[in-house]
Amino acid sequence: MKLIIEHKAILVRDLQWKVKDLVKFAERFGKIQNYPFSKGHTENPGVLKIINNPFEKRKFSSIWHSDSTYLENPPEFTFLYAIDIPEIGGDTVISNTEMAYESLSSKFQEFLKNLEGVYVSNLNKIKRSKYFKGENKFQIFKTCHPIILLNKDSKKYSIYANREHTSHIKDLNDNKSNAVLKLLQTVVSKHEFSYRINWKPGTLVVFDNRSTQHRALVDYDTEPRTLYRITIRLNN
Ligand SMILES: [Fe+2]
């Protein structure tokens, strides 16, 4: 756990895990949180099978975000395990949002620290009903979180506002809110703060959602891409 908090993410190759192995590993860190839009895996409801089918224009998870920030208690850690991966393409880019925050001027950091954002599940009109068959597939989740988050474990601040879920900043007019969100997203997506995950079947990645953002690249057409995902709330 210390490694993940320090480095924000870890990657392990060439595992030959079954779903139960992934569940067992994730449970060592905390309580598995079910994805609200899906019933999940038949035997393990906390496991989400992410399948991006070929030829679909819009693919799941392709906009910068950290997972489920529209929930009042979003998951701290995400576990992704690769099953089927296209021969070429389908990488995930992950950004260190603590480094992104630290690159801002101290005056701007102070301004941002006082701001709260509104986080919603359907901001980019993503039709989760198309991907998943869950009881809540048409429900909209909405909550407030700071724009800049203090990770109580790393004790560092990070840019938490994200393009997929942050609709606006409270107490700023629309123009100012949009300008600040756009600027923050530009900083988060800078190459110098990011790492590109090149998936192979059997690759496991675990990341700290409080100090990272990620997006899946949509640069493949003819092959499916399948990952298992588990999100957890850390044990205190
Ligand atoms: Fe995600």
> Which residue, among 139, 137, 117, has the nearest Cα to 128 in the 3D structure?
137
Distance CA 5, CA 76 (A): 10
3-state SS assignment for residue 219: coil
CA 214, 218, 219, 221 torsion: positive or negative? positive
Distance CA 187, CA 222 (A): 32
- pLDDT of amino acid 189: 97
Please state, rounded to an integer, the average pLDDT across all residues of the chain. 91
Over residues 161-180, mean pLDDT: 96
- pLDDT of amino acid 131: 56
Q: What is the DSSP string of 73-106?
A: S--SEEEEEEEE--SS---EEEEEHHHHHHTS-H
Q: For residue 223, report the distance from its CA to the centre of ligand 1, in Å.
A: 20
Q: For residue 116, report the distance from its CA to the centre of ligand 1, in Å.
A: 22
Residue 112: HSE in the Cβ half-sphere, 13 Å Cα cutoff: 22
More confident residue, 133 or 75: 75
Cβ neighbours around 228 below 10 Å, total: 21
3-state SS assignment for residue 150: strand
Distance CA 89, CA 223 (A): 10
Q: For residue 212, report the distance from its CA to the centre of ligand 1, in Å.
A: 10
For 208: left if phi > 0, alpha if psi spans -120 to 50, otherwise beta; the answer is beta
> In the predicted model, is pLDDT for residue 228 greater than 90?
yes
Which stretch, 23-27, 86-90, 216-220, has highest mean pLDDT?
23-27
Q: For residue 132, report the distance from its CA to the centre of ligand 1, in Å.
A: 14
Distance CA 216, CA 89 (A): 10
Q: For residue 180, report the distance from its CA to the centre of ligand 1, in Å.
A: 22
Contact 67/208 with Cβ under 8 angstroms?
Answer: no
Q: For residue 57, report the distance from its CA to the centre of ligand 1, in Å.
A: 18
Taken in order of first residue, the domains within the chain and their CATH numbers are 2-234 (3.60.130.10)
Contact 108/82 with Cβ under 8 angstroms?
Answer: no
Residue 143: HSE in the Cβ half-sphere, 13 Å Cα cutoff: 10
Query: Range with the lowest mean pLDDT among 88-97, 117-126, 169-178?
Result: 117-126
Instruction: Give residue-wise pLDDT tens across range 101-143.
Output: 999 999 999 999 999 999 999 886 655 555 566 566 678 899 9
